[in-house]
Amino acid sequence: MQTLALIVAAGRGLRAGGALPKQYRSVAGVPMVRRTVERFLAHPRIDAVLVVIGDGQRALYEDAMSGLSDARLLAPVTGGDERQASVLAGLSSVEPDGDDVARYRHVLIQDAARPFVPAEMIDRVLDGLETSEAVLPVLPVVDTLKRVGDGTVETTVDRAALVRAQTPQGFAYAAIVEAHRAARDSGRAVTDDAEIAEVAGLAVRVVQGSEDAMKITTEQDFTQAETRFAAPMETRVGTGFDVHRLGPGDGVILGGVTIPHDRALQGHSDADVALHALTDAVLGAIGDGDIGAHFPPSDAKWKGASSDRFMIDAIRRVTERGGRISHLDLTVLCERPKIGPHRDALRASIAGICGIDIGRVSVKATTTERLGFAGREEGIAAQAVATVLLPASDRL
Ligand code: MG
């Protein structure tokens, strides 16, 4: 065996927001650590991949890697409190027993939070290892650098000799294990593995890094990464139409909003004709039946049901397909009550139920010039158009 990729994913950092350690956060539906692992498994010169996880993160790891079957992916190793201890735990776990020949000649140490490392950059690091014991991918500093104290510039720093360090950093396995142990024993804290090598007196050769290998840290980084990995989407449109009869009562529920009126809509559920039309429009856009198929009126459990549950179920079906709602456009047809004064309340309510921005919800209303059932105030009709983005796929 030649080369091990050691991926450090032991951080607990939540600084990019969200409830998960950031390496387990999904980027376009796939946990970031898995994307990083897959990058290395896909590289023909990598013989094994080992992930160092944080204490108590085994379940998160298993979940992130579920369904990934590749014999080159080794069982994860639990790291320590600091990155340095985590790397050493990973390196030690593949150490030869007794007089065995070392299992790996080279090791690439990689941050889990850099999922876009290009294959050519991995090649440059590996090529460098043919003649050096330590290889560091770097990028030039493009901005002018200033040394600042007390809120004012003290001096301009010459950036010509400065570079930005990235990962994967490559090492001769035996040399870096030894250097890590020495650093641990000296109690010296370092920020990356190249510094460990440096302190141990190894010559650290630099090779060209890549802006693609950016570390994903901030919320803005996640947004950029999302765009980059996002599957191509295609637009689907669905329409919905519904009518409910008006009967005795003191208000109508439209879009989840109760509007005072001298009558009420009659129906098996809460008769929210607006949400019913919208639900059917969303189901239509994804080709998944209609509201009656999923929530049969013959089933007593939907009697009096609040219609937001139908809408939420339709949204879930969209999300499960990797899609999202682009826009909802609702038209309510009735003489009374007047919808205009409640328009924004309806928009806010529908947006809230669907978990989308209010700017993606349109509510319109019209009378039918006193013609037909709506004109005679026998009932209220609603029609809706849903625009949905779904991942483009030959299968769909
Ligand atoms: Mg209905």
C-beta separation of 102 from 96 below 8 A: yes
Angle between helices 273-285 and 308-320 (to 10 degrees): 10
Ligand 1 midpoint to CA 216 (Å): 46
Residue-wise pLDDT for 137-184, tens only, equals: 999 998 999 999 989 999 999 988 899 999 999 999 999 999 999 999
Cα distances (angstroms) measured from residue 171 to each of 74, 211, 309: 19, 22, 56
Ligand 1 midpoint to CA 264 (Å): 14
Cα distances (angstroms) measured from residue 61 to each of 10, 22, 35, 331: 10, 12, 12, 47
Ligand 1 midpoint to CA 262 (Å): 20
- Helices (H), ranges, 147-290: 173-186, 193-199, 219-229, 273-285
Residue appearing with tokens 């089933």: 299
Ligand 1 midpoint to CA 276 (Å): 5
Ligand 1 midpoint to CA 301 (Å): 15
For residue 149 the two structure tokens come to: 């104290």
How far apart CA 217 and CA 221 sit, in angstroms, is: 6
Ligand 1 midpoint to CA 273 (Å): 5
Ligand 1 midpoint to CA 327 (Å): 21
Ligand 1 midpoint to CA 291 (Å): 8
Ligand 1 midpoint to CA 297 (Å): 9
Q: Is the pTM of this model over 0.75?
A: no
Ligand 1 midpoint to CA 271 (Å): 6
Strand intervals (E) in the chain: 3-9, 26-27, 30-31, 48-53, 77-78, 106-111, 134-140, 145-149, 152-157, 163-165, 169-172, 204-208, 233-248, 251-254, 257-260, 263-266, 324-333, 361-366, 379-391
Ligand 1 midpoint to CA 313 (Å): 15
Cα 175–Cα 178–Cα 182 angle in degrees, nearest 5: 135
Ligand 1 midpoint to CA 244 (Å): 6
Ligand 1 midpoint to CA 242 (Å): 5
- Residue among 138, 125, 136, 124 nearest 203 (CA): 136
Ligand 1 midpoint to CA 204 (Å): 70
Ligand 1 midpoint to CA 336 (Å): 18
Ligand 1 midpoint to CA 287 (Å): 19
pLDDT (tens, 9 = 90+) of the chain, 396 residues, equals 699 999 999 988 655 455 788 999 988 788 999 999 999 999 999 999 999 999 999 999 999 999 998 999 999 999 998 999 999 999 999 987 665 666 899 999 999 999 999 999 999 999 999 999 999 999 999 899 999 998 999 999 998 889 999 999 999 999 999 999 999 999 888 889 999 999 999 999 999 999 989 999 888 998 888 887 777 889 999 999 999 999 999 999 999 999 999 999 999 889 999 999 999 999 999 999 999 999 988 888 888 889 999 999 999 999 988 899 999 999 999 999 999 999 999 999 999 999 999 999 999 999 999 999 999 999 999 999 999 999 886 544
DSSP secondary structure code for residue 218 in this structure: S
Burial 210-234 (b: 16+ CB within 10 A, else e): beebbebeeeebbeebeeebeeeee
Greatest alpha-carbon pair distance for the chain in Å reads: 95
Ligand 1 midpoint to CA 328 (Å): 17
How far apart CA 174 and CA 183 sit, in angstroms, is: 14
Other residues' Cβ atoms within 10 Å of the Cβ of residue 120: 10
Ligand 1 midpoint to CA 241 (Å): 9
How far apart CA 83 and CA 176 sit, in angstroms, is: 15
Ligand 1 midpoint to CA 243 (Å): 6
How far apart CA 330 and CA 349 sit, in angstroms, is: 13
Residue-wise pLDDT for 354-380, tens only, equals: 999 999 999 999 999 999 999 999 999
Ligand 1 midpoint to CA 294 (Å): 13
Ligand 1 midpoint to CA 281 (Å): 12
Ligand 1 midpoint to CA 143 (Å): 61
